[in-house]
A and B are shown apart, each in its own frame.
Chain A
Amino acid sequence: MSELIEQEKVSSDSQADLRKPPGPWKIAARKFVRNPYAMVSVFVLLFFIVVSFSAPYLTPYDPAKIDFSSTNLPAFSEGHLLGTDELGRDILTRILYSGRISLTIGFSVALASVIIGTVVGAISGYFGGWIDTVLMRFVDVMYSLPTLFLNILVLAIFGNEFIYMILILSFTSWMGVARLVRGNFLQLREMQYVEAARAIGVPNRSIIFNHLLRNSIHPIIVNATLMVGSAILSESALSYLGLGIQAPQTSWGLMLSNAQEFMLINKWLAVYPGVCILLVVLAVNFIGDGLQQALNPRGKKHPVRRLNEWRKKFSKSAA
């Protein structure tokens, strides 16, 4: 009987040896999934993405079509769930199409500024010397110009097309990533394993991409996520000011500027687009935070308050 048990033990042991320990991405994924705020936010964001991009299938209306026969209808009117605005356009439809624009801009800007920032930061950090000085002076100049002013200025000069919006927002938000990446590179450059790699004869480019980027990628991901939110906020602000998205396209910011004009007529006009912005940006921020906590190797498992209670229970001096 005991021999049988021993045999079982041996085989299960060898099976255990064959399974690899979970890699860092898997650990991070597990941690992320356990974060309630992050998971809810993922669903919220997905909801917005799906609903906005399937807008043509969800509503029969054209967001720009003016219909003077049904202006300023309140919410829950026949055929118009959220009512219509002063030009008879269905509000729900406009919200959905605006979502498409805002989300597209948000993700594009995040992607673009991360790319720009990473390239600049990497070059600056890796080569150092006068390249570094010149690039960092450039960053200083960019920081000296108030972002909103610069955005407004460029949009005024070059025009309000969609693509300019994305470009200008990217050009004013890459600095953070650049500084981050440069800092990482400066640190890692000194570290031992770069010297070791060089000693084995690994060529320069490989060193950069393989070793260093892999280490910088965590904060870059978190930064990129948060940037989606700030890009959406910037776009809404610019559209509100009349310098961003223009009719016939629609954006939440643009809807808010309308809403302010017609405040007396329909109080709720301002609420819907604002709430949408709030929810999307909040969701993106929670996801960013969740990613940061998940990618961080250290972390608290128990809430501090419980630890404090235990502490009091065990303590003789209970001061």
Chain B
Amino acid sequence: MGEYIIRRIIQALVTLFLVTVFTFALIHLAPGGPTQVMIAPGISPEAFEVQKRNLGLDDPIHIQYFRWIGNLLQGDLGTTFKNNIPISEILWPTVGNTFVLMAIAWIVTLIIALPWGIYNSTRVYGLSDQTAAFISYLGFAMPTFWFGIILQQIFAMNLRWLPLSDMWTYGKEGNISDLVMHLILPVTVLSLGFLASYVKYARASMLEVLDQDYIRTARAKGVKERRVVFRHALRNALIPIVTILGLDLPMLVSGAVLTEKVFNWPGMGRLFVDMAVAREYSALMAIVIVTSVFVILGNMLADILYAVVDPRVQLGRKGGGSK
């Protein structure tokens, strides 16, 4: 197990490195480059050069890169061009907010989707199954942000049951019930977005497992059907589902961009969009790197989780005993 984890960590670091190079390259490929945004236009060419040197923009590209990486590793994410605010100050609080939103949405999704999918696998093409299929078609075709806007109109504006946007009501920060009220609409929108997929995964996984020989053996042993489904089948069906959960883990940080914008939720997604519109390249780079770290971490965790759950994964060793 230890060997496997080390290998995965190395893989992750390599990928992360490639991501930083890629991001850095991308920013510096911009027409005009960072000089365009960082230096006020219309100044004299000499002043331009002075500014450039001060900002370190005339150093060879790899020096700039390493300087940037060095700063990142020390936690210095740079500052915004406008007003020189340290990016870490504005970034880290938003991470927590996004996490809260996504975690709750995810949990809600799983609580509904997994049992529903498993149930559908036992009554294939029944009413419940067809309903799920119908919802999944809608879910794939409907723009989620539009759904959010419509919900806003109905529940916040017309019916006035729920708050329109933001995470807290002004003056009520820290109040849990206020938070819950603000969570309901965005969580609904997010949840519905994943729901259809997870129902499908659960159903498909169960169906595949129920078709296996060892299920036939279990029935031939006289095991009651209920136990066959919930113990023999489910344990196996969960393995691919756990894998998918793991792969989706990174969405905890990056999946809510649109919803955050619709509901003005103070999360990383909204921050990213605002920074993009304002062309704050340093901030954008920082957010991309932070997000990628989470993505890569998430993937790694998923792989390790998979190895734990499935006894067949020999983690590098070849399987098989003696004859």
Interface residue ranges, A against B (CB under 8 Å): 137, 140-141, 144-146, 148-150, 152-159, 229, 233, 236-237, 240-243, 253, 256, 259-260, 263-264, 267, 270-271, 273-274, 277-278, 281-282, 285-286, 303-305
Give 5 new A-B contacts, CB below 8 A, not counting A146-B250, A242-B273: A144-B295, A146-B255, A260-B149, A274-B142, A274-B147
Chain B's closest residue to A230 (CB) is B140
Confirm or deny: B107 has a beta carbon within 8 angstroms of a beta carbon on chain A: no
Confirm or deny: B137 has a beta carbon within 8 angstroms of a beta carbon on chain A: yes
B257 and A153 contact, CB distance less than 8 A:
no
Choose from A144, A259, A281 the contact partner of B299 (Cβ within 8 Å).
Answer: A144
Most buried by B among A153, A273, A274, A285: A153
B15 and A152 contact, CB distance less than 8 A:
no
A153 and B143 contact, CB distance less than 8 A:
no
Q: Given the complex of chains A and B, what is the CA–CA distance between A118 and B125 in angstroms?
A: 35
- What chain A residues lie within 8 Å of B18 (beta carbons)? 137, 141
Nearest CB of chain A from residue B19's CB, rounded to whole Å? 6
Nearest CB of chain A from residue B203's CB, rounded to whole Å? 14
- What chain B residues lie within 8 Å of A233 (beta carbons)? 143
Choose from A154, A256, A305 the contact partner of B146 (Cβ within 8 Å).
Answer: A256
A149 and B149 contact, CB distance less than 8 A:
no
B26 and A157 contact, CB distance less than 8 A:
yes
Nearest CB of chain B from residue A29's CB, rounded to whole Å? 23
Choose from A137, A157, A159, A281 the contact partner of B27 (Cβ within 8 Å).
Answer: A157
Q: Given the complex of chains A and B, what is the CA–CA distance between A158 and B276 in angstroms?
A: 11
Chain B interface mostly helix, strand, loop or mixed?
A: helix
B15 and A282 contact, CB distance less than 8 A:
no
- What chain B residues lie within 8 Å of A153 (beta carbons)? 23, 26, 276, 284, 288
Chain B's closest residue to A277 (CB) is B143
Interface residue ranges, B against A (CB under 8 Å): 15, 18-19, 22-23, 26-27, 29-31, 124-125, 137-138, 140-143, 145-147, 149-150, 152-153, 157-158, 250-251, 254-255, 257-258, 261-262, 272-273, 276-277, 279, 281, 284, 287-288, 291-292, 295-296, 299
Interface pairs A-B: 4 shortest CB-CB: A274-B146, A146-B254, A282-B141, A156-B276
- Known A-B contacts A140-B15, A274-B149; the reply to A285 vs B276 at CB < 8 A is no
- What chain A residues lie within 8 Å of B157 (beta carbons)? 263-264, 267
Pairs A–B under 8 Å by Cβ, sample size 8: A141-B18, A156-B279, A260-B149, A263-B149, A274-B142, A277-B142, A303-B125, A305-B125
- What chain A residues lie within 8 Å of B292 (beta carbons)? 144-145
A243 and B273 contact, CB distance less than 8 A:
yes
- Known A-B contacts A146-B254, A260-B149; the reply to A157 vs B141 at CB < 8 A is no
Chain A's closest residue to B147 (CB) is A274
Q: Given the complex of chains A and B, what is the CA–CA distance between A141 and B296 in angstroms?
A: 10
Choose from B125, B288, B296 the contact partner of A149 (Cβ within 8 Å).
Answer: B288
Q: Given the complex of chains A and B, what is the CA–CA distance between A240 and B124 in angstroms?
A: 39
B137 and A270 contact, CB distance less than 8 A:
no
A236 and B288 contact, CB distance less than 8 A:
no
